[in-house]
Structure 1
C-alpha cells in the first residue's frame, strides 16, 4: 500500500495533469505557462517543478494518463479470433470513449503546426504501445493457425480503424456524437467477424494480381 506521502504526491500529480489538460485546451500549449498550471491545480510551483521539470514532460504525462493501462491487460488466448478480437475491440472502444482521449487529440491537432513533437509523443508513448499489443495478438493467432496474416501491422490497422472511424473520430467534429453501448457492441462484433472472414486460414484466396 502506498504511504501517506506517496498518496498525496499521486493526488497532486493528478490535479496537475487535469489542470494542464484544461489550460492547453483553453489557451493553447504555447500560451500556457507552468506557473498558470500550478495556480490552476492549487499546488506550489516547487511541487509542480519537482513532478514535471518541463512542459514537454507534463505533456508526456497527459499522454500516459490518457492511454494508461490500455496495453497492460492480458491479451485473450489464441484460438478464437472472433471472441478474442471482440474482447480487444471492446477494450479499445472503452479507451476511446474516455473524455481525456478526445481532449488529448484536440490538443495535438491544434498545436501540430508549431509543436510537431507533441504528435510524436502521442504516437510513440500512447498509440504505438497499444498498437503493438494488438499486433502481437494477431501474430499469436497466426502462429496458432486460426488465421493467416502475412502483414499483422496492416491487419491491426484495419481492425482498430473499423472501430475508431465510428466510435471516436466523429466526436472531434461533432460534439453531440454519442454511440450507445449496444451500437458499440455491434460495431466491434462486425469488425471482428470481418477480420475473421478476411484472414480465415482456409478457403479461397484472392490472387495478388486481382
Structure 2
C-alpha cells in the first residue's frame, strides 16, 4: 500500500495543477482549442508531459477541470445561506455571484467557449453542465428552502433564480465580453445587487 502523500507533496501537486489550468486557459484563448496541444500546455506551465498526462489524460478532461475550477467560489463561502431572512440571503448570494463573475479568467473562459462553439459544441456543453448549472441549482435550492420556510411565495423557483442572477450578470458580466474596458466601480455594483434584491423581495416576499 502506498503511503499517503505528505502535505508538501500535496501542495506542490496543487500548484502544478493550478499552473496547468492557467497555461491552458491562456493558450486556448490565444491559439484556439484545436491548435493547442497538451505538450504545448505542459511546456507553458513548466511541467513535464508525464505530470500533465497524469492529471489530465485528454484535452477534454483538462477543459472540464478549467470549467469546474472557474465556477467554484474558492473562498470557503460557497455554502447556501440558511433560510429565514430573504433579503440577507439574496444579498449574500448576489455579492458572491459578483465576485465569481469578476474573477480573473471567467471572461476568458466564456470567450473560448463562444469562439470554439461551431467546431467544438462539447465545450459549451461542459460549461453549461459542469459550471453554470451546478451554480444555478444552488440558487434554486435556496429559493425552494425559503419557500418551505414561508418567507416567499413563488410557483417557479427556476424562473425566480434566472431573474435574480440575470439582473446582476446583465450589468456586471455580459458587457465585459464586448467592451474591453467595462469595469463599473464598487458602488455601482453594490447598487445593482441591492436593486436586484429589492426587486425579488417586492415580487416574491410573503
TM-score range, shorter chain: over 0.9
Contact 2:80-2:142 at 8 Å conserved across structures? yes
Aligned pairs for 1:153-164 within 5 A: 153-164=158-169
Partner of 1:205: none
Q: 1:37 to 1:155 in 2, by over 3 A?
A: same
Q: In the alignment, which residue of structure 2 is the partner of 1:112? A: 117
Q: 2:132 aligns with which of 116, 127, 130?
A: 127
Structure 2 runs not aligned, ≥5 long: none
Q: Displacement, 1:183?
A: 1.0
Query: How far apart, in 2, do the equivalents of 1:96 and 1:111 lie?
Result: 21
Instruction: Give the deviation of 1:200 after TM superposition.
Output: 2.8
- C-alpha distance in 2 between matches for 1:46 and 1:83: 48
State the TM-score, normalizing by the size of structure 1. Answer: 0.92
1:149-197 Cα offsets, whole Å, 9 max, x none, are 1000000000000000000000000010011111111100100110111
Does residue 58 of structure 2 align to residue 54 of structure 1?
A: yes
- CA distance in structure 2 between the aligned counterparts of 1:123 and 1:101, rounded to whole angstroms: 13
* CA deviation string 1:66-115 (max 9, x = no partner): 11236962222212211110010000001001121111101101001110
Alpha carbons of 1:126 and 1:2: their partners in 2 closer, same or farther (altered >3 Å)?
Answer: farther
Task: Please name the residue that 2:8 is paired with.
Answer: 4
TM-score w.r.t. length of structure 2: 0.94
Query: Where in structure 1 are there 5+ consecutive unaligned residues?
Result: 202-210
**Aligned-residue CA RMSD (Å):** 1.5
1:151 equivalent among 148, 152, 156: 156
Partner of 1:25: 29
1:173 maps to 178
Match of 2:19 among 15, 20, 24: 15
